[in-house]
Amino acid sequence: MHEFSVTSQIVRSVLEEGEKRRAKKVTEVHLVIGKLTFLGLEQVRFAYEVLTKGTIMEGSKLFIEKQEGVVKCNHCGYEGGFKYEDDPLYHVPVPTLKCPQCSNVVNTVAGKECAIKSIKMMV
Amino acid sequence: MAALKREVVRAEESEVYDVELSEDLLKANQRLAEENKRFLHENGVRAIDIMGAIGSGKTSLIEKLVQLLKTRYKIAVFKGDLTTTIDAELIARHGVETIAINTGKECHLDANLVKKALQRLDLNSIDLLFIENVGNLICPAEFPLGSDKRMVVVSVTEGPYMVVKHPFIFMEADVVAINKVDLAKAMGVDVERLEKDVKTINPKTMVVATNCRNGEGVDHVAKALRL
């Protein structure tokens, strides 16, 4: 939904980093994006291409690593993927904050990332 | 000659620089939200973030909550919208300080906008702040503002599948109001079913059925928010 503004923040951060190191060109940018964010990867790529035009990032390769949603249960110690409940009325699996092992309420510990992991640049 | 030679020097593979950053852009908002929360607490102000789709009844619910609570609390309201102050004026009629936050094009409020609005408010003169987010069931989930509690308003006129289609915002909610229950029959929507959907996704959230036209259920919302 807000890929353009988030991507422009990404581009700004990378350009700042490049400036700090007097880079001539940025060749690769590696991102981690959690599956629980509402960022469409296709839109991120599109915005990236538009926003990097005319900068030292133009033509750089964008790598996006996807991070699965991970929940943790404080009662039984479960750590892993969400439980989905299959609802016969909707025919869709609905994610739930119930622990898959003990049904207590879990906390989300991963899947909301939107991070620049590393940048490759020519100096 | 020397100058010419220097000109043809090219960066070699070995000069490629790998920078480890691990900078999380959404975390930057979370940090600001924590700052807002601390700032509000230091000044003895409780804040409630109200989210929900366009037309779900967020403003109407705030109006009713203000009417119910304004003798017990000194209330201020932040009203997020892309543009206009129409809703802000509706709320201001009730005699509480109201600040319109116009996001321009952005589909949600973020912690930075709230921080800016907080600077325009005399926190000593209030103890309760309602923050109405931009009408949207998607993006606000991702941007905490620094409130103590987050509430989602969903109305029966949005149809029977609104909850299951947007599970992640309901995972963020401490309280969910199912609004316009007076229209449930006309809409053919089962309120209990919506409630069950919310509880399936987030068993720890409190669900309240409301009708903001006549104020039904609004006292239960206040209770659920511990007000």
- Same domain flag for A24 and A62: yes
pLDDT band at B11 (very low <50, low <70, confident <90, very high): very low
Counting the structural domains of chain A, the total is 2
User: Quick check: A96 and B168 CB within 8 A?
Assistant: no
The reported pLDDT for the residue numbered A3 is 85
pLDDT in tens, A53-69: 999 999 999 999 999 99
- Same domain flag for A39 and A51: yes
User: Quick check: A2 and B167 CB within 8 A?
Assistant: no
Q: What is the CATH number of the domain that holds A24?
A: 3.30.2320.50
* Neighbouring C-beta atoms of residue B146, cutoff 10 Å: 23
User: Quick check: B204 and A114 CB within 8 A?
Assistant: no
Please name the residue that has the structure tokens 């009629």. Answer: B93
- Same domain flag for A58 and A77: no
Q: Does the ipTM surpass 0.90? A: no
Q: Which class does domain B27-224 fall in? A: alpha beta
Is residue B159 a contact partner of residue B166, using CB atoms and an 8 Å limit? no
- Please give the Cα distance from B63 to B92 (Å, whole number): 9
Q: What's the whole-number mean pLDDT along residues B131-139?
A: 89
| Average pLDDT of chain A to the nearest whole number | 91
Q: Is A52's pLDDT higher than 80?
A: yes
Kindly list the domain boundaries of chain B, sorted by start residue.
27-224
- Same domain flag for A60 and A98: no
E runs forming strands in chain B: 16-24, 46-52, 75-81, 97-102, 128-132, 149-155, 175-179, 206-209
- Report which secondary-structure segment, H or E, holds B61: helix B58-69
What's this model's pTM, rounded to 2 decimal places? 0.84
DSSP-derived secondary structure for B93-155: TTTSEEEEEE-TT-SS--HHHHHHHHTTS-GGG-SEEEEEPPSBSSGGGG---S-SEEEEEEE
pLDDT > 90: what percent of chain A?
Answer: 69
pLDDT in tens, B153-174: 999 999 999 999 899 999 999 9
Residues of B in contact with A13 (CB under 8 A): 21, 23, 25
Q: Is B7's pLDDT higher than 80?
A: no
B161: closest chain A residue by CA: A90
- Same domain flag for A10 and A35: yes
- Please give the Cα distance from A62 to A31 (Å, whole number): 8
Q: What is the DSSP letter of B182?
A: G
pLDDT band at B87 (very low <50, low <70, confident <90, very high): confident
- Please give the Cα distance from B190 to B220 (Å, whole number): 20
Nearest to B197 by CA among A37, A71, A92: A92
Closest partner residue to B15 (CB to CB) among A36, A96, A122 is: A122
Q: What's the whole-number mean pLDDT along residues A15-35?
A: 92
- Same domain flag for A56 and A74: no
- Please give the Cα distance from A92 to B190 (Å, whole number): 18
- Please give the Cα distance from A69 to A79 (Å, whole number): 11
Q: Is A2's pLDDT higher than 80?
A: no
Residues of B in contact with A87 (CB under 8 A): 164, 200
Q: Is B190's pLDDT higher than 90?
A: yes
Q: What's the whole-number mean pLDDT along residues B91-105?
A: 88
Q: What's the whole-number mean pLDDT along residues B14-40?
A: 82
B193: closest chain A residue by CA: A89
- Same domain flag for A52 and A89: no
Please name the residue that has the structure tokens 């422009």. Answer: A8
- Same domain flag for A44 and A88: no
Largest CA distance in chain B: 89
Q: Is A72's pLDDT higher than 50?
A: yes
Nearest to A87 by CA among B196, B54, B223: B196
Domain enclosing residue A31, as ranges: 3-68+111-122
Q: What's the whole-number mean pLDDT along residues A4-23?
A: 90
| Average pLDDT of chain B to the nearest whole number | 89
Mutation to test the B interface, candidates A3, A11, A99, A119, most B Cβ within 10 Å: A119
- Same domain flag for A61 and A93: no
- Please give the Cα distance from B198 to A85 (Å, whole number): 12
* Three-class SS state of A30: strand
- Same domain flag for A58 and A89: no
- Same domain flag for A63 and A115: yes
pLDDT band at A30 (very low <50, low <70, confident <90, very high): very high
